A and B are shown apart, each in its own frame.
Chain A
């Protein structure tokens, strides 16, 4: 593993905990924090953070996203890296996030914002997780923002050499067995506000996703996207499918299940 220093200093990380994780899955935020600290990072949680503005912007309402984007920049300016355990939020910050004027400060925050998996894989180059053990059959869910927006892995549509950052990390966890569903990259139908605007299609896609993983033999679905998991979990519970869901940060941080 690379020493977590930048030009000889300790890396100062601003931890971005998106709204869903804050309200419903605080354990994901805690696992991310503990994992980064175990790896030698100095992590701060800017206290006045709320959201990245994605819900408004994805609805076409860029003007309504302005205040939220401005607040995001105020909260996260000055850190060496901003790390977030949610691919779609990071994809928004890095690739969209243009409701406000693109000052140097805005550009800097955007370029320093990383999703947890890519931060561990590309920046820290973590080689092992000696504290982790996860003796379960696991199906990986690549959120679409992570997969096609942040390029976490080679998407199944492209004729490019195979790679997968989340699988690289999960393979370092003893006991963990990866199973592959029939449609590995199929969107689970969450889609942010799509999940309520197109409720019927969203739920069916979620049911299909969970069923595909169950048929592949997975007992857990692991993902870097909590929002996808929240949706799939809701679908699985309603269907009565006994599937468990866990964020990749919890697995890598040694969650005992």
Chain B
């Protein structure tokens, strides 16, 4: 099956090898090796001033101006997509699984109140303290309160997009809490004072020399030494003592199970387990949409998650945290931060089905060529285009236009979110609510008038020059020739089809007007 379309997917891997030359089997390690050849500065995120729109196109242009970074980024993420395909095609019931996952999430989200209460009751019965946070500020205040109650000054935490979304690290740091990230990629980003660029592989936009620079600056590693094993080991040696001495640990959660009250984490580095099991205090911050009703539902998602994310059958660690271990304390903070409002958006509520696998980013031709930081928020790629505007419609009003509407994201989504249709729908919302720049709107109004009137249209494309000003620079909102900057214009076809017909066929056609 699929021999023509997929034969390239069966190609040999340039697998990463250990010191004895044996290929590493670890999912992340088996991806493409790092291939930095010479120094090129790492492209950085744009600075978006308050009240301004995120300019994805501008940041993307700067990312593309760093070809080594861009090429590595594109190849690395495409490799993850290929591995995902291989895993997906090895399971006969793959499409059935996606459908099932989508239906379970639909059921849960449409009965969210019931399952949240069930979860809370089960967690309390397990001896866990449950908190409810309506937004990011409330979440951060709750976490700080718990830490202060326990006299905790140092916190280790595993990678959590929710806490990024809430701006927790900055808040707690301002309030005197010393934080150490336990996920390697997220630790790199923390040390570089930069946001994660991908929900699964947060520093994927960096080359290993970039990491070497960050570690030399912050951990005192040998400048210029970019050996991945040396860098990873140095990070481990400097971070382990901080982990062992930490007063508290914080994790996110990939899933909440209503019937058991458990928080389930899925990691490849065991970083959630380190954060939860080392200190005497474990705080789990989880978005309310992460619920599934039963343990038996979880299997569907576990089978989909890592296959979709990294192209490995399962994450190295899948841990259920139900209760605090002897002598320890566990808190769960259930966070809304806009989720229940999103649940009320007719066209966009199914985005809450997302399990943060990142498959939509890996397959996205725009994401791979612009980098996650170009989206200006925690969530990037197709997922970001769909949910970022729910946080700030004006600030993220350009994002729904950072897509070719190709639809590949929808096809890889393990919970079958119709991402590209939601991106299209957001464009309509932005235009209706006057969030499209005036010049662009005016150009579209002009195009609408011309294309709605045969005489005006014929006049507009009558000469090669006038046609070129309209097509393909069609309806562009500035006078600069954005088409011609990197591409040749099409040659004018001489006589249009319309004129050819008038000359050769008008009145002679067999069809005739019905």
**Residues of A with Cβ closer than 8 Å to B?**
10, 12-14, 17, 19-27, 29-30, 33, 37, 41-51, 53, 55-56, 58-68, 70-71, 77-79, 96, 144, 147-149, 153-162, 164, 167, 178, 180-187, 189-208, 227, 230-231, 233-235, 237-238
Q: In whole Å, how far is B448's beta carbon from the nearest beta carbon of chain A?
A: 3
Chain A contacts for B496, CB-based, 8 A: 22-23, 26
Interface of B is mostly: helix
Scoring A12, A193, A237 by chain B CB atoms within 10 A of each residue's CB, the highest score goes to A193
Q: Mark B449-491, 1 if CB is under 8 A from A, else 0.
A: 1011110010001000001000111111100001101111111
Question: In whole angstroms, how far apart are the Cα atoms of A50 and B432 in the complex?
Answer: 25
Question: Is B91 part of the binding interface, using a Cβ–Cβ cutoff of 8 Å?
Answer: yes
Closest 10 CB pairs of A and B: A67-B452, A44-B511, A191-B404, A60-B427, A234-B487, A64-B448, A203-B486, A60-B431, A78-B514, A157-B411
Question: In whole angstroms, how far apart are the Cα atoms of A10 and B512 in the complex?
Answer: 12
Question: Is B179 part of the binding interface, using a Cβ–Cβ cutoff of 8 Å?
Answer: no
Question: In whole angstroms, how far apart are the Cα atoms of A49 and B9 in the complex?
Answer: 43
A36 nearest CB neighbor, chain B only: B511
Q: In whole Å, how far is A117's beta carbon from the nearest beta carbon of chain B?
A: 16
Q: In whole Å, how far is A224's beta carbon from the nearest beta carbon of chain B?
A: 15
Q: In whole Å, how far is A14's beta carbon from the nearest beta carbon of chain B?
A: 8
Question: In whole angstroms, how far apart are the Cα atoms of A68 and B474 in the complex?
Answer: 15
Chain A contacts for B7, CB-based, 8 A: 180
One of A22, A96, A160, A208 near B461 (C-beta < 8 A)? A22
B490 touching A24 by the CB < 8 A rule?
yes
B401 touching A186 by the CB < 8 A rule?
no
Chain B contacts for A205, CB-based, 8 A: 365-366, 369, 404
Question: In whole angstroms, how far apart are the Cα atoms of A147 and B502 in the complex?
Answer: 33
A19 touching B471 by the CB < 8 A rule?
yes
B57 touching A60 by the CB < 8 A rule?
no
B411 touching A68 by the CB < 8 A rule?
no
A61 touching B448 by the CB < 8 A rule?
yes
Q: In whole Å, how far is B383's beta carbon from the nearest beta carbon of chain A?
A: 16
Q: Mark B158-200, 1 if CB is under 8 A from A, else 0.
A: 0000000000000000000000000000000000000000000
Residues of chain B in range 16-66 having any CB-CB distance to chain A below 8 Å: 56-57, 60-61, 64
Question: Is B430 part of the binding interface, using a Cβ–Cβ cutoff of 8 Å?
Answer: yes
Question: Is B444 part of the binding interface, using a Cβ–Cβ cutoff of 8 Å?
Answer: yes
Chain B contacts for A79, CB-based, 8 A: 514
Chain A contacts for B495, CB-based, 8 A: 26
Question: In whole angstroms, how far apart are the Cα atoms of A14 and B511 in the complex?
Answer: 8
Question: Is B1 part of the binding interface, using a Cβ–Cβ cutoff of 8 Å?
Answer: yes
Q: Mark B56-99, 1 if CB is under 8 A from A, else 0.
A: 11001100100000100010001000000100110110110000
Q: In whole Å, how far is A9's beta carbon from the nearest beta carbon of chain B?
A: 11
Q: 23 A-B residue contacts at CB 8 Å? A: A12-B511, A23-B461, A23-B467, A30-B497, A45-B501, A50-B451, A55-B444, A60-B426, A60-B432, A61-B431, A64-B448, A71-B452, A78-B514, A144-B405, A144-B406, A148-B411, A159-B92, A161-B2, A201-B57, A201-B365, A201-B366, A203-B485, A234-B487
